[in-house]
């Protein structure tokens, strides 16, 4: 009994110190600005995190734009959910993965046409949140000019949030970002022969 009283008191003191520390850090964070969030790495969870933030944003009534690079062949749940939502301008690049099209010229043309939609969103101050899903591949394959993309991201309206997903985000992209998460792969069911699952993968 005495033991647990002492333990509870120690816990309370530790939590009080923690609260003071956290409250101090919260009070120091006073800046309000549009963020560039990068979700990269080899693990699963990049696009689903981006669409989680989109759901939050729509929940708050924010105006959003989505441009999905690469995908478009699958019957994505996020597209079904958001494409008819008046708060979301949803654009999907019409080609599949580059290893499916196997046509570099067609991929480049599709990437550039898709990028035009992204630049429209990135120059519109009425758009609060922009998701550029799988954008990094357009840069690693050299389908879009790196400088052009960096410039468009940096000159966007100051209060606009942008979320970029895709593996191998470049050093330059990471440098200009505010928040970067690298999703690591610990396990993936695919390697156990499990096919893509509705709701979890698409």
- In the complex, the residues that contact ligand ATP under the rule CB under 6 A are 42-48, 165, 183, 185, 188, 190, 196, 201-202
| Partner that binds at residue 97, options Mg ion, ligand ATP, none, CB closer than 5 to 8 Å by kind | none
| Partner that binds at residue 124, options Mg ion, ligand ATP, none, CB closer than 5 to 8 Å by kind | none
136 binds Mg ion (CB under 5 A): no
How many CB atoms within 10 Å of residue 160? 23
Phi, psi (deg, nearest 5) at residue 161:
-90, 140
- Whose Cβ is closer to Mg ion: residue 20's or residue 76's? 76
- Whose Cβ is closer to ligand ATP: residue 54's or residue 63's? 54
Cα dist from 180 to 52, 116, 123, 143, whole Å: 16, 25, 23, 23
Name residues whose C-beta falls within 8 Å of residue 38's C-beta, 6 or more positions apart in sequence: 163, 164, 165, 169, 173, 174, 177, 179, 180, 181
Name residues whose C-beta falls within 8 Å of residue 72's C-beta, 6 or more positions apart in sequence: 92, 93, 94, 95, 96
| Partner that binds at residue 188, options ligand ATP, Mg ion, none, CB closer than 5 to 8 Å by kind | ligand ATP
- Whose Cβ is closer to ligand ATP: residue 65's or residue 166's? 166
Contact letters for Mg ion, residues 20-59 (x by CB under 5 A): --------------------------xx------------
- Whose Cβ is closer to ligand ATP: residue 57's or residue 165's? 165
Nearest-approach distance from CB 98 to ligand ATP, in angstroms: 13
Nearest-approach distance from CB 181 to ligand ATP, in angstroms: 11
Nearest-approach distance from CB 165 to Mg ion, in angstroms: 5
- Whose Cβ is closer to Mg ion: residue 4's or residue 186's? 186
Q: Are 121 and 64 in contact (CB under 8 A)?
A: no
Beta-strand pair 64-68/179-182 = unpaired
Q: Are 59 and 51 in contact (CB under 8 A)?
A: no
Binding site for Mg ion (CB under 5 A): 46-47
């Amino acid at each position: 009994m005495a033991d647990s009283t002492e333990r509870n008191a120690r816990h309370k003191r530790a939590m009080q110190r923690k609260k003071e520390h956290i409250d101090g850090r919260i009070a120091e964070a006073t800046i309000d600005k549009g963020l560039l969030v990068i979700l990269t790495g080899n693990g699963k969870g990049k696009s689903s995190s981006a669409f989680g933030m989109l759901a939050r944003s729509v929940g708050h009534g924010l105006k959003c734009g989505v441009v999905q690079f690469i995908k478009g062949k699958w019957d994505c749940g996020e597209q079904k959910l958001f494409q008819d939502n008046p708060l979301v301008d949803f654009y999907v690049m019409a080609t599949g993965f580059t290893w499916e099209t196997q046509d570099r010229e067609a991929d480049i043309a599709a990437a550039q046409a898709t990028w035009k939609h992204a630049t429209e969103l990135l120059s519109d101050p009425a758009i609060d949140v922009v998701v550029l899903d799988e954008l990094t591949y357009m840069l690693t394959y050299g389908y879009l000019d790196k400088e052009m993309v960096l410039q468009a991201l940096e000159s966007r309206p100051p209060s606009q949030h942008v979320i970029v997903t895709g593996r191998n985000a470049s050093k330059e992209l990471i440098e200009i970002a505010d928040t970067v998460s690298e999703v690591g792969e610990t396990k993936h069911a695919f390697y156990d022969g499990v096919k893509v699952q509705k709701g979890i993968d698409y």
